[in-house]
């Protein structure tokens, strides 16, 4: 059976009247010496609960040392990877500098020394011979 009379829209419209009537009934039937402390305790409980929820929603309850440890481990790993990348970059640049230096110091093809040809012949013969032992 659908609730025709008790819907959310009807409750929203009737809430102010219900609040006024219940407040009047509370103070009419409960003595003032008991009613005011109850209202104060309820309001303080609501405020304390709101503050507790607000403090839990922020990151204040997380231990700072745990966060520092986690972040420092990640930072150390990132620094290590960065150092490796820098080292590779320096090695590559050093090889490029050496190659450029060697090309600059190499004589032009027209001014080639005959001794260099003999060295190349020896290198080629060593390569052809290989490092295998003769059986």
The Cα 79–Cα 63 span in angstroms is 24
Place of tokens 């013969």: 125
What angle, rounded to 10 degrees, do the helices at 8-29 and 32-57 form? 140
Among 34-43, 74-83, 86-95, 124-133, where is mean pLDDT lowest?
124-133
pLDDT given at position 134: 60
Token pair for 40: 């104060």
- pLDDT bin (cut points 50, 70, 90) of residue 126 is low
- pLDDT bin (cut points 50, 70, 90) of residue 74 is confident
| DSSP designation for 131 | S
Evaluate whether 30 touches 38 at the Cβ level (below 8 Å): yes
**Mean pLDDT along residues 20-28:** 91
Q: Is the pTM of this model over 0.75?
A: no
Question: 44-60 pLDDT, tens per residue?
Answer: 999 999 998 887 766 55
The Cα 103–Cα 106 span in angstroms is 5
Higher-pLDDT residue of 109, 65: 65
User: Taking all residues of the chain, what is their mean pLDDT, rounded to a whole number?
Assistant: 80
Q: Is 130 left (phi over 0), alpha (psi -120 to 50) or beta?
A: left
61 pLDDT more than 70: no
Domain layout of the chain by residue ranges: 1-61, 62-106
């Amino acid at each position: 059976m659908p609730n025709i009379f008790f819907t959310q829209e009807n409750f929203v419209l009737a809430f102010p009247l219900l609040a006024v009537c219940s407040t009047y009934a509370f103070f009419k039937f409960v003595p003032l010496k008991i009613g005011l402390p109850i209202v104060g305790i309820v309001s303080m409980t609501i405020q304390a609960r709101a503050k507790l929820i607000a403090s839990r929603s922020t990151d204040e309850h997380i231990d700072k040392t745990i966060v520092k440890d986690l972040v420092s481990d990640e930072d150390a790993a990132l620094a290590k990877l960065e150092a490796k990348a820098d080292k590779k970059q320096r090695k590559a640049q050093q090889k490029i500098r050496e190659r450029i230096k060697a090309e600059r110091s190499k004589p032009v093809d027209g001014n080639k020394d005959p001794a260099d040809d003999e060295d190349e012949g020896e290198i080629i013969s060593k390569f052809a011979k290989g490092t295998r032992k003769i059986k």
